[in-house]
Amino acid sequence: MNRMSFDTALPIIFMALMGLSMLVYVISDGYDLGVGMLMHRATDAEKDVMVASIGPFWDANETWLVLGVGILLVAFPRAHGVVLGELYLPVALMLIGLTLRGVAFDFRVKARDTHKKTWDRLFFAGSTLAAVSQGWMLGRYVSGFGTGWNYPLFAAAIAVALPMAYVLMGTAWLIMKTDGELQERAIGWAKVAWAPMVAGMVLISMATPWVSDVVRERWFALPEIIALMAIPLMTAVALLAVRGVLHSEVVRGPVCWLPFVLLIVVFVLGFLGLAYSIYPFVVIGQMTIWQAASAPEALKVILFGVCISVPAIAGYTVFSYRVFRGKTGELKYA
């Protein structure tokens, strides 16, 4: 039996780190993008509480996006050129959206009441633009940047579905972090967002094998399909559990955290399905992780830096969530 050498394993390690970084980003920044997209439904007082609920976390959440893209750049430079070359415009739009969010978040603090509504609208617009751009990028990436009328249609479907998933995550976050009337309204928003989010997931799951030969071969091969069925089944159970909890009184009490945790499970299962579908490609159907990777000598140097930076980022993330755990109080500025 041949044993994989460390040099051969290095690209796998970096691919796993990049995937983990993007997963953490999608979950962590997903809920605060969702909160931003709910701003237009809230009263002025509720908007302050919503901003306070994500205030200690939203900026740091984007660190994981920087880490994931950084790993792609230094560990897989050939793939970096292909991916960002294909996604130049949506990446630019996403950055505009994230910048707009940051500016609006800070300026609404000192704005007069007459101008505060404008910054709230810009915060909503930036959140929506970033979420839609990310959905389009995911759709194009999963389809292997194919050409033809069906590929943009598939990307557009994910550009609609991903923001709905973020909105549902945002409502679950508000259910967990708030109480009283805002929590009650968040439960109502979650009930409304649940159905289109689930419908989008089902339709996209059905369409994915249609746009990608690689995914179709992976999903419907025997005996792998038997083990793979565990992912959609567990996802269905988690989503039905979210629906059941939302219709129960317990969500207003000590288990208010449960919808958020269940949705994290859904995202993790989706990530595992995506990882299974594309491995060993870093650009589906075009480039494997070994073809795209930097030289082993360079990867070893990069790994040293990653072993310092990733635990530091993870430690800070855990610390911040621990310090600011519990319900959100009144919004205050120094």
Measured from the Cβ of residue 80, the count of other Cβ atoms closer than 10 Å reads 19
What's 302's domain CATH number? 1.20.1630
234-288 pLDDT tens trace: 999 999 999 999 999 888 888 899 999 999 999 999 898 888 888 888 888 788 9
Give CA–CA dist 37/227, Å, rounded.
37
Greater pLDDT, 183 or 213: 183
Q: 3-state class of 195 per DSSP?
A: helix
Please give the average per-residue pLDDT across 97-111, as a whole number: 84
> Residue 332 — φ and ψ, nearest 5°?
-135, 145
Q: How confident is the model at residue 6 (pLDDT cuts 50, 70, 90)?
A: confident
287, part of any domain? yes
200, part of any domain? yes
331, part of any domain? no
204, part of any domain? yes
pTM of the complete model beyond 0.85: yes
Q: What residue numbers bound the domain in which 190 lies?
A: 13-323
5, part of any domain? no
Provide the number of structural domains found in the chain. 1
What number of residues does the chain have?
334
Give CA–CA dist 65/68, Å, rounded.
5
Q: What is the pLDDT of residue 330?
A: 57
Give CA–CA dist 5/13, Å, rounded.
12
333, part of any domain? no
The burial of 279, by beta-carbon neighbours within 10 Å (0-12 exposed, 13-18 middle, 19 or more buried), is given as: middle
Contact 157, 139 (CB under 8 A): yes
16-60 pLDDT tens trace: 999 999 999 999 888 999 999 998 888 888 888 888 888 888 777
2, part of any domain? no
332, part of any domain? no
